[in-house]
Amino acid sequence: MTLTDKELKLINSKDGLMALLNQEELDVEKATRLVKYENRLAKLHEELIKLQSWVVNNKKKVVILFEGRDAAGKGGAIRRIVEHLNPREHRVVALPKPNEIEAGQWYFQRYINHLPKEGELVFFDRSWYNRAVVEPVNGFCTQDEYEMFMNQVNEVEKMIIQSGVILLKLYFSISKEEQAYRFKDIQESPLKKWKYSPVDQKALELWDEYTAYKEKMFEKTSTDYAPWQIIKANRKTKARIEALEYILQNIPYTVKNDEIIVHQEIVEDEN
């Protein structure tokens, strides 16, 4: 490949040399993209810290939902997004299967209990939208429970927003081939295989059912006041950048540097 002067400067930097040394096979182009990605992420993190300060100083409440297929990269995206935030002023919520008491409560109750206090950001790694897709596909809820949820969710979100919460909804979308690739990677990794759940085992087999319920979810719950933002997530780094850009663009913090936030095409394939 032919590198520009700017790219040569990048690859000759400390970060560029580290990116090269960390590769199993030398790939200058890939290392260059990685450095660009990390530099872009760092600039967006600076804006996110400003956003968090605005939330804290103005006693704002922010909820960001991360939804998507299994292995779509939701958890990894959240980890990279929040890594430089003040841990006392944000929370990541990833709820397990409801216990016996929670199963007998109003469905939204345990999620409502995790909404932010004043001056806090809350990131949901999966949310109440489990009942829109995962639960009906896998038989974890009845048809009546599913329909009740679909009839209530828009009004619940409207009430949450009217109470002063800023609500964003992101959906990470991957292809069937990419999901199969990631499942294989998870199964073969001693550090990742704990992630492979019984639900994951059936995800490829139930791909079309997931798609049908996902489309119903978009159709019925993408409202003017709480729209869905679909993030194409076959490339994890690209998805993380786009998710962070969307968050920064759609929360009215000050002072916002729009020149930094505007989308730049930087892609580094981590697979």
Q: Residue 170 phi/psi, 5° resolution? A: -115, 135
The model carries a pTM of 0.88
Token match 């999901």: residue?
179
CA distance 268 to 29: 10
Q: Is the pLDDT of residue 10 over 80?
A: no
Supply 16's token pair.
Answer: 């560029």
For range 20-42, the mean pLDDT: 74
Q: Is the pLDDT of residue 72 over 80?
A: yes
CA distance 221 to 83: 30
Reference 69, options 138, 159, 157; nearest CA is 138
Per DSSP, the three-state class of 233 is coil
Q: Is the pLDDT of residue 28 over 90?
A: no
Q: Is the pLDDT of residue 9 over 80?
A: no
* Residues sharing a CB contact under 8 Å with residue 202, sequence separation 6 or more, in sequence order: 138
**What's the pLDDT score for residue 1?**
52
CA distance 257 to 60: 20
CA distance 4 to 143: 58
Q: Is the pLDDT of residue 16 over 60?
A: no
CA distance 107 to 268: 39
Q: Is the pLDDT of residue 268 over 90?
A: no
Torsion of CA 271, 172, 264, 226, to 10 degrees: -170
**What's the pLDDT score for residue 35?**
87
**What's the pLDDT score for residue 193?**
87
Kindly report which listed range (91-95, 162-166, 195-199) carries the lowest average pLDDT score: 195-199
**What's the pLDDT score for residue 32?**
75
**What's the pLDDT score for residue 13?**
67
Domains, in order of start, for the chain: 5-261 (3.40.50.300)
Taking CA atoms, 88 is separated from 62, 66, 91, 109, 110, in Å, by: 14, 21, 8, 24, 21
Taking CA atoms, 6 is separated from 11, 19, 56, 241, in Å, by: 9, 16, 38, 21
Q: What is the pLDDT of residues 228-264, one digit of tens each?
A: 999 999 999 999 999 999 999 999 999 999 999 986 6
**What's the pLDDT score for residue 100?**
94
Q: What is the pLDDT of residues 84-120, one digit of tens each?
A: 999 999 999 999 999 999 999 999 999 999 999 999 9
Supply 54's token pair.
Answer: 């605005």
Token match 């590198």: residue?
3
What strand order describes the sheet that includes 90-93? 90-93, 120-125, 61-68, 165-173, 228-232
For range 210-238, the mean pLDDT: 98
More confident residue, 15 or 99: 99
> What confidence tier does 21 reach under pLDDT thresholds 50, 70, 90?
very low
Q: What is the pLDDT of residues 173-189, one digit of tens each?
A: 999 999 999 999 999 99
Reference 229, options 210, 248, 211, 212; nearest CA is 248
